[in-house]
Amino acid sequence: MKALVFAAGLGTRLRPLTDNMPKALVPIAGKTLLEWQIRKLKDAGINDIIVNVHHFPDMIIDFLHAHNNFGCNIMVSDERDMLLDTGGGLLKALRTFANEADEPVMALNVDILSTIRIEEVMAAYNPQSLGLLVVSERKTQRYLCFDDDNRLVGWTNVATGEMKPANSTSIRHNSSIHLLAFSGMQVLSADVLPLLENFAVERGAKFSVIDFYLWLVEKQSASLYACTMNVPLMDVGKINHLSEAEDFARTL
């Protein structure tokens, strides 16, 4: 299995720190967010990694070089000319992997710290499926919606009432639908690449990976499955969360 670390974001919620550095290099308990993710992947036996970059890209590239890529085979997917969002970033990275062996790819956000064991996610992935989305039962405003067979069927924002697909029946009041919070981690088959290419033709180069997943289930009748991991998890997304993140990281 290979991996992509989404590290291209602007980190606006972490300002003023990110006025001078990329979010991926924000230090937490003696390690940068990027190092936490690379070491987690390496410990699980994943050594072929792509890191996408946009905000202060050369700082990330120099950081990786200074640490000899942490003993991994790390490539950079450079988005400095245009930030592609998660879906566009995934497509660009998978085009790079396309010349490699046909293997599934784990993709994860750089700013999520958790006790999720990557080995368990890898073991849960069915090679015959298109993808596995790691989720939990934690409370949030935005949820992915799954049926009784753990297949993705939609998305909803319970605060605003927004629902995707927009013409779906009331997901929130359907007792057979389970609302689960996305963890920012997924495993995708190599077969997802041509579908991403088709979606990009419709939507353009920049798009959300969640919008792509919803298009897959609505327009392509594809099956994406939930992998529920109810373990401690923290989104290091806001400047006032850094102290809490420091304490949390020391437990990992």
Query: Is residue 180's pLDDT more than 90?
Result: yes
CB 5 within 8 A of CB 38: yes
145-176 per-position pLDDT tens digit? 999 999 999 999 989 988 888 656 556 556 68
3-state DSSP call for residue 153? strand
Where residue 179 falls among pLDDT bands split at 50, 70, 90? very high
- What integer pLDDT is reported at residue 243 of this predicted model? 82
Whether 1 contacts 103, CB under 8 Å: yes
Instruction: Give pLDDT, residue 103.
Output: 87
Architecture category of domain 2-249 in CATH = Alpha-Beta Complex (3.90)
What mean pLDDT, rounded, does the chain reach? 90
| pLDDT above 90: residue 239 | no
pLDDT at 101: 58
Kindly give, in sequence order, each residue whose CB lies less than 8 Å from that of residue 201, ignoring residues fewer than 6 positions away: none
Distance CA 32, CA 14 (A): 14
d(C-alpha 156, C-alpha 144), whole Å: 7
Does the pTM exceed 0.85?
yes
pLDDT score for 99: 59
142 has which bridge partners?
A: 157
Residue 104 binned pLDDT confidence (cut-offs 50, 70, 90): very high
The residue ranges of every structural domain in the chain are 2-249
Kindly give, in sequence order, each residue whose CB lies less than 8 Å from that of residue 183, ignoring residues fewer than 6 positions away: 112, 114, 116, 134, 135, 136, 229, 233
- Segment 9-18, tens digit of pLDDT: 988 887 887 8
Rounded Cα distance between 151 and 86, Å, is: 21
Q: Is the pLDDT of residue 241 over 70?
A: yes
